[in-house]
Chain A
Amino acid sequence: MLSFAVTAGAASALDLLAWSPPGWGATLVAGLWNTILIALGAYALGLLIGVAGAFGKLYGGPILKDLLAVYTTLVRAVPELVLLLLIYFAARDALNNLLNIYGYGPIEFSGVAAGIVVLGVVQGAYSTEVLRGAILSVPAGQIEAARAMGMSPMLLARRVTLPLMTSAAVPGLANLWLTVTKDTALLAVIGFIELTKATSLAAGTTKSFLTFYLAAGILYLLLSLVSGVIFGRIERWARRGQRNAGGGGI
């Protein structure tokens, strides 16, 4: 009796997840695609801000250092959801007010763009800390030797700092990628159609909550597993030519 109910349930669940309507499979995958797009954009923006922020914190003037410290502390102390709402409404309004002064109409922020900006700003703070730690871990002797040999700062950054920093930064950056893919779920609260919101819509319309939330969970898991594999490869590539760390356990 129970097995019959279970198989009947499974059959109808597969119907609901079918690709073409009335199955919701295509909508979920479209939501997943949006999730990946926003995550990629936000991650890239976060990296750009992070590089600038890390260099600013290490080599900038005192005012710049303090401003960056305020930025990273604020972002790490306030929940992403609150930051999302603040940046989404405040940034939009500020930008539109600015444009109004010059006589342009309000810009329409597509959901993707807004999500990327918001999450990118948040990621930027965390990236700054990761990259700063990674740069600090580059052995000072290498940099001094390069300077002693007369390398220009650009050459120094390109040949010594960046390669050594990358291998130290990759684990932290991998964590940040996983964080940003899951933070896209928060955009559901401002109504943007990424995977979690698409799932909530499908579940609400069809009342099959368990089916859709489980399906979304599986999709997110797939995303994180694939990401883990890719970042493992990246870490191996970044560590090429270095001695094997982490030997000698007890």
Chain B
Amino acid sequence: MKDFLKPHRLVMIGIALALILFCAWKLNWSWLPDYLHLIPLAIWRTIWITVVTMSLGMIFAIMLGFAQAAGPAYLSVPARIYCSIIRGTPLLLQLWLLYYGLGSLFPQFPWIRDSFMWPILRQAWPYAVLALTMSVAGYEGEVMRGAFKGVAGGQLEAARAMGMPRFTAFRRIWLPQALFRALPTIGGETVLQMKSTPLVATITVVDIYSLAKRVTQDTFIVYEPLLILAVVYMVMAGLIVLLFRWLENRIPSRTA
């Protein structure tokens, strides 16, 4: 800690604190009391969208990565095409394509409204979750492909030599080792995923970004809500980084 607090750093921290105090005093925070009760729910929405899409997406990413690393051509080629398409088009476009594009089909097929899926198809968040999950699967599929390929072949050969069934070898050796290799990258990608959640505001899902926009529209105050928004995202990014650092510390590493 003493290393960190060199003189110039103390000065800079002092300046930063002074800046924050100045902002807290001078800027227009009159809107806060009216909207404070909406903030926790909005933050929760952002968090659960990130967590759910990251988890679901990773499951698909593992499958896609494995298909590309070790699968036969009829699996690896479609997986590769899928990853290329997802990574080659903007997420905003994918979101709008799913929500408005599919939505434009609904009037042509009236029977959809009577089906059991209708309550889900009507709302906006399933499309957001679907689009973000597909995006995670596409990007992390690439990461997992590299991770699977990077696991030392000797380990897998040893497992085969000991007579381990193929699925057990996958479950106990290939997959965990690939995940450990990929963990730092996945941590960075999780932060990137969290940063793409504001886009769901354009398809009417109310997250913290959408709430900040609403404050601006109601009160015409532009900067203060955006600053609070930036702080919220910085805190969340910091928490994600800390979480992944903790996970990385728990990975068994050889000391021999």
Contact = CB atoms under 8 A, between A and B. Distances in A.
A208 B104 CA distance: 8
B12 interface: yes
Contacts of A186: 92, 199
A178 B152 CA distance: 31
Interface in B77-107: 84-85, 87-94, 96-97, 100-105
Contacts of A214: 97, 101
A67 B9 CA distance: 10
Is chain A's binding surface mostly helix, strand, loop or mixed? Answer: helix
A221 B88 contact: yes
Contacts of B154: 250
B44 to A, nearest CB: 17
B89 A82 contact: no
Could you say which of A62, A184, A217 has the most chain B C-beta atoms within 10 Å of its C-beta?
Answer: A217
B101 A85 contact: no
Contact of B93 (A85, A207, A216): A216
Interface stretch (B22-30, B171-179, B233-241): B233-241
Given A207-B104, A249-B153, A213 B230 contact: no
Interface string A141-185: 000000000000000000000000000000000000010001111
Contacts of A217: 85, 89, 93-94, 97
Interface string B208-235: 0100000000000011001101100110
B223 A86 contact: yes
Contact of A63 (B12, B84, B199, B227): B12
B179 to A, nearest CB: 19
Is chain B's binding surface mostly helix, strand, loop or mixed? Answer: helix
Nearest to A188: B92
Q: Chain B: interface residue count, which band?
A: 35 or more
Contact of B222 (A89, A189, A225): A89
A200 interface: yes
Nearest to B238: A77
Contacts of A178: 87-88
A111 B223 CA distance: 20
13 contacts: A62-B6, A77-B233, A78-B230, A79-B196, A81-B199, A86-B226, A86-B227, A189-B202, A200-B96, A209-B100, A209-B104, A221-B85, A221-B88
